[in-house]
Structure 1
């Protein structure tokens, strides 16, 4: 058996605060041996999610000190626990946001494990992929589609999966009109999924580069305002609460708005007869289930959406978050071990 590394490098949130205050610090830490149901993986790539930025800046309260962010992890198994059967040393794996659940509560027993009170999250409760090595629960790891590079596969594990669940929650009818507000990592994958399913997609974003990308990927329109025609469904990806009434006002009767982010600024007051009457619905999106992940990875294996990646070496993880905060990334940033 190959000798395991004793230490690894990791970016940790030292003191949450504005990204300009450099809340991340690069440290060396001991490599933990995997428990019975765990895998130790060498990180090959890790996507950079807006949730990582929320954690670094303190929008999400830290659950443990000096935690390494990163929950779109592509790794190679270097050791496994005695009870692991589905993975072997040398296998490629994907580790996503949902890191563990109790498996016994009423939510877990009814297919709603994303609502488990004891759910744990990669890069929030457990160290994530902004590191050289990561320990993951094999029961929550994914096998990744063949033919995707590590950099292409990483964004599928959160941007893709969360977008998939948001699209399900938006209750879009077949051939319906879908509005997408904000067009970053998750939105650019979700738009392609919706188009492939036959939807007419309309994108609202302030970024000229994002508008161009949306049109390239098949959107029917891309602008700074909602389209004139009423929408059947909408997904809010931007963490901007002021867009909630805007998106609701653009819905047709019976339309649904799904809010995809884990953090949202304050929502202004709603006017009932303008925003909610005629059976308009607002839904939040909370994490995902493993079934969501498996279903999404199966669907994208067939559809093969384009993944627009900006790569950074792992040593520049802090720079990637700065660029994300400044809106300088079109598509998704991915850290690469090199």
Structure 2
């Protein structure tokens, strides 16, 4: 099976979207091609399994093209560079992330808000991603990565980490503030480490007992069920779980002037809000949309400075359907990573 514009071999694509347990991923064997202008051909060393991949596979996100190879937390080595590429050479280690391209000329791009570009493109949605042995990445949208670090440790940083970092900033957490994290998977357990390193008190609310244990081991002040009230009012909160029912729960937990940032690309319907209980006293509800390249650079710099450590559940590339099903069933502690 071959699709124009791909450079994958021995990977997985989304066939007919449906429940992860039903096997929406199908094997593909695609011939690797040469990189085009501005592209890098990359041999994949590791690829994180993000909840966005799950949303695409299960049909929560409408596919942008048929039989797309998912995966946008890509760590790999450059095999070849396309025409016009500077700053990259064969053998370099790079990271491919969710944001794959923007127009560079719209009002959002010109004013530092390229995450809102109406012409933006995404790895694993608009073009094939990293659930494969090789992939093509746009040179202007990859990140240089440490050459000797464990690739499984680096992979979750490239979306879970970057998006969690942007969500944390969107929550307007004050210095030394009280932060609530709703859901505690790949993204939240990285954002928690950033917040803790910056002096925040972190309270975790999640349905998974294993995730609660992980939160406490990382230094969270408390860990309860997703629908529990935290032990103190929150200055800020981030909703990582794609569950709209938790929006009023998290808003009710905010102190006066607090902000709730919703981190996911997909959320089930939000139930009616009560103005007095959920929004009055200047509580704020805001969304998070993708990230800018500057977000990525800032987060990766922060991760190196604080020696951030991902909790990783590794899977061989052949087990990608199982990794996706485990993520759907909350059987992954921390982040799932495929290792070709």
- What is the correspondence of 1:19-168 to structure 2 with a 5 Å cutoff? 19-145=20-146, 148-168=149-169
Question: In structure 2, what is the Cα distance between the partners aligned to 1:250 and 1:327?
Answer: 24
- Quote the residue 2:303 is aligned against: 300
5 Å matches for 1:1-338?
Answer: 8-145=9-146, 148-224=149-225, 225-337=228-340
Runs of 4+ aligned residues of structure 1 deviating over 4 Å after TM superposition are none
Question: Equivalent residue for 2:4?
Answer: none
Q: Name stretches of at least 5 consecutive residues in structure 2 with no aligned partner.
A: 1-6
Given the superposition, is the C-alpha separation of residues 115 and 7 from structure 1 closer, same or farther in structure 2, using an over 3 Å criterion? Answer: closer
Shift of 1:146: 5.2
CA RMSD of aligned residues (A): 1.2
Three-state SS of the structure 2 residue aligned to 1:29 is: coil
Cα displacement (A) at 1:19: 1.3
Question: Which SS does the other structure have where 1:219 is aligned?
Answer: coil
TM-superposed CA distance for 1:21, in Å, is 2.1
Give, in angstroms, the shift of residue 23 of structure 1. Answer: 0.8
TM-score (norm 2): 0.96
How far apart, in 2, do the equivalents of 1:229 and 1:312 lie? Answer: 38
Give the match's secondary structure for 2:9: strand
Cα displacement (A) at 1:22 = 1.1
Q: Distance in 2 between matches of 1:7 and 1:48?
A: 17
1:232–1:147 CA distance, 2 compared to 1 (3 A):
farther
Give me the whole-angstrom Cα distance separating, in 1, the residues matched to 2:247 and 2:8: 46
Preserved contact between residue 93 and residue 144 of structure 1 (Cα < 8 Å): yes
1:100-150 Cα deviation digits (max 9, x unpaired):
000110000000000000000000001000011100000000011455310
CA deviations 1:210-230 (Å, max 9, x no partner) are: 111001101011011121311
Whether the 8 Å CA contact 2:93–2:147 is kept in 1: the answer is no
CA distance in 2, matches of 1:153, 1:7: 21
Instruction: Spell out, residue by residue over 1:250-276, the C-alpha distance to the aligned partner (whole angstroms, 9 max, x if none).
Output: 000100000000000000000000000
Is 2:85–2:139's contact at 8 Å kept on the other side of the alignment?
A: yes
